[in-house]
Amino acid sequence: MLENRIIRIIEGIVGEQHVSTADTDRLCYSYDATQRQHRPDAVVWPSNAKEISLLLKMANAEGIPVYPRGAGSGFTGGSLPIHGGLALVLTRLDAILRIDEENLIAEVEPGVVTRQLQKAVEALGLFYPPDPASLKFSTLGGNVAECAGGPRCVKYGVTKDYVLGLEVVTPQGDIIRTGGETMKGVVGYDLTKLLVGSEGTLGVITKIILKLLPLPAAKKTMLVLFDSIDGAAQAVAAIIGGKIIPTTLEFMDGTTIDCVRRNTDLELPQAARAVLIIEVDGDSALIEKQAETILKLVNPLGVVNTWVAANSEESEAIWQVRRSVSPSMRKVNPDKFNEDICVPRSRLPEMIRTIEAISDKLQIPIVNFGHAGDGNIHVNIMVDTAEPGQEQKAKQAIEEIFAATLKLGGTMSGEHGVGVTKAPYIPMELDPAAVAYMKAIKKALDPNNILNPGKIFLQD
Ligand SMILES: Cc1cc2nc3c(=O)[nH]c(=O)nc-3n(C[C@H](O)[C@H](O)[C@H](O)COP(=O)(O)OP(=O)(O)OC[C@H]3O[C@@H](n4cnc5c(N)ncnc54)[C@H](O)[C@@H]3O)c2cc1C
């Protein structure tokens, strides 16, 4: 627990009403979207970079760990206060500071919810593409810290492709700016790129300059059902090989379809063993032509049924199939180990077959869906940890899946980061010299190991 003396100092920085040691607050900020819980000693809600700078200076002087937190929707435990200390909640920094229509940029504070920015720019005919499925509640600060992805990334890229500059409070409390407002800039090391995806371990992001695009005029959504996962995978290759990059290329495997079928009223034919949701956007005439070409390319590949949305309501209904996956999965088994491996697109069928073999061998359901266009699969290992041996089996499955992913030239995480949950597996992917290089960066920038300790590496 923190001494009263420390609490008084924090109150002096942020104001009495913006720090709490109440059990309820400590409990509320003890979890994220993983199933782990770690209570902070206190929760602090600063309102600007200056306050965060003073908090970090104090934390360094007193040796108190500080854990930055956005909405707490992370899937790898990145915001969990695993050594107690302060949960530094950034949701009060929630202003869209400006949208510059001439230069196509936006400047925001980190606590802005992603969808909120998208709506604001769309009202002006502009577009902020990164779209994590958590966009209605996750924050842009959290998206930047995790380099979040989403369905649209196959065409538009991930968060890092839109971050031009940052204001950051360093672990020792200095306030710095990286990058800027220009589309180009090569003065010094690219600190912006280093900070994006650094999972709150190298600095607290307090302002973000984002690149915007013009809003595409129209979009067209299609749901295509295949009789095999191979057919769906070949369809992905055929579309991209046909020189079309759709906005989204989402897939669901047979287990996912069974799951959705059992738990919703959505009608999906029994013969369907894989689904692709394909969306194209752009000029109306162009997307009609692209949709036609896509259907011609995929039709010979075991298509069972096709639904082309005629309007935005039907497009929404198609996306409802995808959105029903998470709630229906919970009914398979109560506990979910969620991984987000990524393999080269062409290796997708091999990867899915390997996962199915692991699922059969260990006799545990594994539900696979995700961003086929990126080779990024959300692998959901469904167990009941209350049953003896189930957790152990899930861990064995994870290790075998990671080993197979790496063998196929993939990576253990396409978008959720390392945090706590993937830290034990880092040596499977990174060689010791690369880990030492990363640790040297952390040590140089945060010599007292104050900011988000215990994340990414098992020992900082
Ligand atoms: C239902 C659901 C769907 C999801 N879908 C996707 C998806 O499609 N794609 C995807 O990529 N992710 C997805 N996620 C994961 C998660 O939403 C993202 O990682 C998101 O970017 C986290 O944002 P957050 O505001 O919740 O951050 P938090 O979970 O609060 O924090 C995440 C990390 O960022 C750090 N952090 C937060 N704010 C700051 C800041 N201002 N400065 C420095 N560090 C900071 C934290 O310390 C932590 O390490 C999903 C999660 C859920 C629950």
pLDDT in tens, 360-418: 999 999 999 999 999 999 999 999 999 999 999 999 999 999 999 999 999 999 999 99
Residue 453 Cβ inside 6 Å of ligand 1? The answer reads no
pLDDT band at 178 (very low <50, low <70, confident <90, very high): very high
Nearest CA to ligand 1 atom 52: 134
Nearest CA to ligand 1 atom 13: 132
Residue 142 Cβ inside 6 Å of ligand 1? The answer reads yes
CATH 3.30.465.10 domain extents, the chain: 96-214
Q: Is 90 exceeded by the pLDDT of residue 331?
A: no
Task: Give the residue-averaged pLDDT of 337-358.
Answer: 92
Q: What is the pLDDT of residues 261-317, one digit of tens each?
A: 887 777 888 899 999 999 999 999 999 999 999 999 999 999 999 999 999 999 988
CATH 3.30.70.2740 domain extents, the chain: 332-418
Nearest CA to ligand 1 atom 28: 72
Query: From ligand 1's centre to the CA of 237, what distance in Å?
Result: 30
88, 137, 138, 338: which to mutate for ligand 1, most atoms within 8 A of CB?
A: 138
What are the respective helix, strand and coil percentages of the chain, to the nearest 5?
Answer: 40, 25, 40
Q: What is the pLDDT of residue 334?
A: 86
Backbone φ and ψ of 97, nearest 5° = -75, -40
Task: Give the residue-averaged pLDDT of 195-218.
Answer: 98
**Which stretch of 143-152, 264-273, 430-439 has the lowest confidence by average pLDDT?**
264-273
Q: What is the pLDDT of residues 23-32, one digit of tens each?
A: 999 999 999 9
Residue 132 Cβ inside 6 Å of ligand 1? The answer reads yes
Q: What is the pLDDT of residue 150?
A: 93
The CA-CA-CA angle for residues 341, 347, 353, to 5°, reads 80
Topology of the domain covering 4-89: 3.30.43
Residue 198 Cβ inside 6 Å of ligand 1? The answer reads no
Q: What is the pLDDT of residue 218?
A: 95
Task: Record the tokens describing residue 412, joined without a space.
Answer: 């253990």
Nearest ligand 1 atom to the CA of 74 is 29
Residue 90 Cβ inside 6 Å of ligand 1? The answer reads yes
Q: What is the pLDDT of residues 166-175, one digit of tens each?
A: 999 999 999 9
Select 216-331's CATH number: 3.30.70.2190, 3.30.460.20, 3.40.50.300, 3.40.50.620.
3.30.70.2190
Q: Is 90 exceeded by the pLDDT of residue 64?
A: yes
The whole-angstrom separation of Cα 200 and Cα 450 is: 11
Which burial class, exposed, middle or buried, applies to 314 when counting CB atoms under 10 A from its CB (0-12, 13-18, 19+)? middle
Nearest ligand 1 atom to the CA of 32 is 29
**Distances from the Cα of 375 to the Cαs of 39, 87, 203, 235, 436, in angstroms?**
36, 35, 30, 13, 29
CATH 3.30.70.2190 domain extents, the chain: 216-331
Which residue type sits at 101?
Answer: E
Task: Record the tokens describing residue 285, joined without a space.
Answer: 């005439």
The whole-angstrom separation of Cα 83 and Cα 2 is: 12
Give one DSSP letter per residue of 354-403, joined into a string: HHHHHHHHHT--EEEEEEGGGTEEEEEEEE-TTSTTHHHHHHHHHHHHHH
**Distances from the Cα of 219 to the Cαs of 127, 152, 182, 281, 316, in angstroms?**
13, 12, 29, 4, 12
Task: Record the tokens describing residue 229, joined without a space.
Answer: 């996962």
Nearest CA to ligand 1 atom 19: 74
Query: From ligand 1's centre to the CA of 356, what distance in Å?
Result: 29
State the DSSP H helix or E strand holding residue 430, giving kind and residue range, or none if neither.
none
Task: Record the tokens describing residue 292, joined without a space.
Answer: 């036609």
pLDDT band at 327 (very low <50, low <70, confident <90, very high): confident
Q: What is the pLDDT of residues 111-127, one digit of tens each?
A: 999 999 999 999 999 99
Query: From ligand 1's centre to the CA of 159, what distance in Å?
Result: 12
Residue 70 Cβ inside 6 Å of ligand 1? The answer reads yes
Query: From ligand 1's centre to the CA of 91, what distance in Å?
Result: 13
State the CB neighbour count (10 A cutoff) for residue 8.
11
End-to-end CA distance of the chain: 22
Query: From ligand 1's centre to the CA of 216, what distance in Å?
Result: 26
pTM of the model: 0.96
Residue 454 Cβ inside 6 Å of ligand 1? The answer reads no
Q: What is the pLDDT of residue 74?
A: 97
Residue 32 Cβ inside 6 Å of ligand 1? The answer reads yes
**Which stretch of 68-72, 342-346, 434-438 has the lowest confidence by average pLDDT?**
342-346
Query: From ligand 1's centre to the CA of 292, what distance in Å?
Result: 37
Topology of the domain covering 96-214: 3.30.465
Q: Is 70 exceeded by the pLDDT of residue 460?
A: no
State the CB neighbour count (10 A cutoff) for residue 173.
18
Q: Is 70 exceeded by the pLDDT of residue 161?
A: yes
Strands 66-69 and 86-89: parallel
Q: Are the CB atoms for 247 and 279 separated by under 8 Å?
A: yes
Task: Give the residue-averaged pLDDT of 306-329.
Answer: 88
Over the range 370-404, which residues count as b (16 or more CB within 10 Å of their CB) and which as e? bbbbbbbbbbbbbbeeeeeebeebbeebbebbbeb
Nearest ligand 1 atom to the CA of 326 is 1
Q: What is the pLDDT of residue 262?
A: 81
Average pLDDT for the chain: 95
Topology of the domain covering 332-418: Alpha-Beta Plaits (3.30.70)
Q: What is the pLDDT of residues 39-57, one digit of tens each?
A: 999 999 999 999 999 999 9
| Percentage of the chain lying above the pLDDT 70 cut | 100
Nearest ligand 1 atom to the CA of 33 is 53
Residue 435 Cβ inside 6 Å of ligand 1? The answer reads no
48, 75, 134, 139: which to mutate for ligand 1, most atoms within 8 A of CB?
A: 134
Nearest ligand 1 atom to the CA of 139 is 25
Q: Assign 192 to helix, strand or coil.
A: helix
Residue 110 Cβ inside 6 Å of ligand 1? The answer reads yes
